[in-house]
Chain A
Amino acid sequence: MTLGFAKMEKTAAAEASRFETIYAEHAHPIYYLALRMLGNQARAEDATHDVFLKAFRKLDSFRGQSGVRTWLYRIAVNHCQNLLQSWHHRKIFACGNEHLYEQTPDGADHPLRALENEELGERIQRTLDALPEDYRLLLLLIADKDLSYDEAASLTGQSADSVRGKLYRARKAFAAAFNQTA
């Protein structure tokens, strides 16, 4: 039995070490996603803490069907969406703006310009807040270079082809909204 207990301790230590590695590799992108989904640093800190606590509790059931980053994003997206729903922070997308977004040239022709001395983070937040939730989430996920289109598609419940089409519209919407915040 002593041997078995030692084995259990060893396993717990190995699990803790594994979790520390997971945190070190993935905490920043999860925090950034929470920051821009929730729009508030303190809430993003709370959400990141809660997401990793949930991940720790579910670590045994993680079978590696997806990448660790994708798994954590799934927990984070669900967590943030639940918070937003409970706070009644859902934004209503004005249909009239869609016409404006459709007329806006895509980002390749008109780069996004921002003064260095302004509060760029606040401007980005206002821009993201003005977008439909699915555009906002898609842009935040695709901005992570470690996430493939297929993984972003899986996280948003769409096909990779749908993601490409929606991403084109999301970029235009972002550019239009960003320029309006200037």
Chain B
Amino acid sequence: MKPHFQRHQQQEQTGETRHKIEEGVREFETPEELLRYDASQAPLPPAIQSRLKESLAREPAKKRPWWRRLF
């Protein structure tokens, strides 16, 4: 850790990702940390769930084996 950076450095916790920020520059120790940060910046689009609900509503009722119908 370079001392002259420490003055401007802060730690940030984003989800489960830990990385450093130095004067507008983010620093990640491993690609996995970088990818975790990236994932935290890519939220799940809510449109997928509504589309999925529509698709599931169109699904035919599942045929169950006779033994599952009885028990």
Contacts and interface: CB of A to CB of B under 8 A. Distances in A.
A63 interface: no
Contacts, number: 110
Contacts of A52: 48, 52
B49 A171 contact: no
Contacts of A41: 45
B55 A115 contact: no
Interface residues of A, number: 45
Interface size class of B (residues with CB under 8 A): 35 or more
B49 A116 contact: no
Secondary structure dominating the interface of A? helix
Given A113-B26, A175-B31, 8 more contacts: A27-B48, A27-B49, A29-B39, A31-B42, A52-B48, A112-B30, A112-B31, A143-B31
Interface of B: 16, 20-21, 24-32, 34-36, 38-39, 41-45, 47-49, 51-52, 55-56, 59, 61-62, 64, 69-70
7 contacts: A27-B49, A111-B27, A113-B26, A115-B25, A120-B38, A124-B34, A124-B35
Interface of A: 4, 8, 11-12, 16, 19, 23, 27-29, 31-32, 35-36, 41, 45, 48-49, 52-53, 56-57, 60, 107-108, 111-117, 120-121, 124, 139-140, 142-143, 145, 170-171, 174-175, 178
Top 3 nearest A-B pairs by Cβ distance?
A143-B35, A174-B31, A143-B32
